[in-house]
Amino acid sequence: MKKNSFKINVYDAGDVASISVACKLASKTLDYLESQVRVGVTTKRLDELCEKFILDHGGIPACKGYQGFPASLCTSVNSVACHGVPDDVPLQDGDIINLDVVVNLNGWHGDTSRTFPVGTVAQRHLDLINIARKAMYVGIEAIKPGSRFNDIGIAVSRYINSKKGFCLIKEFCGHGIGRQMHEEPLVLHFPISKSTSLIEPGMCFTIEPIVSCGSSNTIQMKDGWTMVTTDRSFASQFEHTIFIDEEYRPNILT
């Protein structure tokens, strides 16, 4: 592993193989949890299942204890934009829930999240989920030889802005990942005016836009974690960890 002039880690093939195994476990954990999402299940139960699944597969749930986070899984229901703390409230028909998993396997991290519908969900909220998923893929597909991080932000925000009634929550961003859950750089989902780094082979980072169908701002709940949209409109997020190969192509690891 070496660092470029912008302090972004550049990983060799062996490192990427290790990160990839961690990412595969994170993704498998989400597949498993998806099968457990239903009306009546509590987010605490999903958290327990998540922790057991990761430990049973030789990993460590990286969120637990991260800056004091109390659980293995972020469970963000309805108007919770992100960092929802699992609790004893059962999921209800019509809810949407984002599950965000970070696995540490042999000292390497994989980070991924998806939003799932619970029972029968309003069409507007199904639209929200589909727009959030597509926004992530638009960001991934924006990466070409010669791209800068700003090109991801341009593409994601242009896509979301084309959807009337939906907006990007700019307060949260993607990030480099590897030995640490959060590394340089910040991966913004909107453009900035100052110059950003070139995206180069060996870089490993997440793209994880959060889309709201109302307010683009959030407030933190008293638990110090749960971030809720100010107008309590629903929000949805998807996240992949990707790495950039020698041909400058984004490879989805999760």
Q: CA separation (Å) from 238 to 45, 89, 100, 113, 233?
A: 22, 23, 9, 5, 17
Residue 111 binds ligand MF3, judged by CB under 6 A: yes
Which position among 239, 242, 243, 244 is part of the footprint of ligand MF3 (CB under 6 A)? 239
Q: Which is closer to Co ion, CB of 157 or CB of 206?
A: 206
Residue 47 binds ligand MF3, judged by CB under 6 A: no
Contact pattern from residue 111 through residue 140 relative to Co ion, giving x for each residue in contact according to CB under 5 A and a dash for the rest: x-x---------------------------
- Binding partner at 63 among Co ion, ligand MF3, none, C-beta below 5 to 8 Å by kind: ligand MF3
Q: Which is closer to Co ion, CB of 95 or CB of 111?
A: 111
Per DSSP, the chain holds a count of helices (H) and strands (E) of 4, 17
Q: CA separation (Å) from 239 to 56, 118, 151, 164?
A: 24, 19, 17, 22
What is the torsional sign of CA 176, 188, 54, 85?
Answer: positive
Report residue 29 as tokens. 């954990």
Residue 203 binds ligand MF3, judged by CB under 6 A: no
* Cα 100 from Cα 27, distance rounded (Å): 10
Q: Which is closer to ligand MF3, CB of 22 or CB of 121?
A: 22
Q: CA separation (Å) from 156 to 142, 159, 162?
A: 8, 5, 10
Q: For residues 148 and 187, is the Cβ–Cβ distance under 8 A?
A: no
How many chain residues are in contact with Co ion, going by CB under 5 A? 5
Residue 205 binds ligand MF3, judged by CB under 6 A: no
Q: Which is closer to Co ion, CB of 104 or CB of 113?
A: 113
Residue 102 binds ligand MF3, judged by CB under 6 A: yes
Contact pattern from residue 199 through residue 218 relative to Co ion, giving x for each residue in contact according to CB under 5 A and a dash for the rest: -------x------------
Only one of the segments 21-29, 198-206, 227-235, 243-251 lies at the binding site for Co ion (rule: CB under 5 A); that segment is 198-206
Residue 100 binds Co ion, judged by CB under 5 A: yes
Q: Residue type for 253, please?
A: L
* Cα 98 from Cα 101, distance rounded (Å): 10
- How far is residue 65 CA from its own chain's centroid? 18
Q: Which is closer to Co ion, CB of 94 or CB of 183?
A: 183
Which position among 66, 89, 192, 223 is part of the footprint of ligand MF3 (CB under 6 A)? 66
What's the chain's Rg over C-alpha atoms? 17
Place of tokens 């790495």: 243
The residue ranges that bind ligand MF3 (CB under 6 A) are: 63, 66-67, 69, 74, 83, 100, 102, 111, 208, 239
Q: Which residues would be at the binding site for Co ion (CB under 5 A)? A: 100, 111, 113, 206, 239
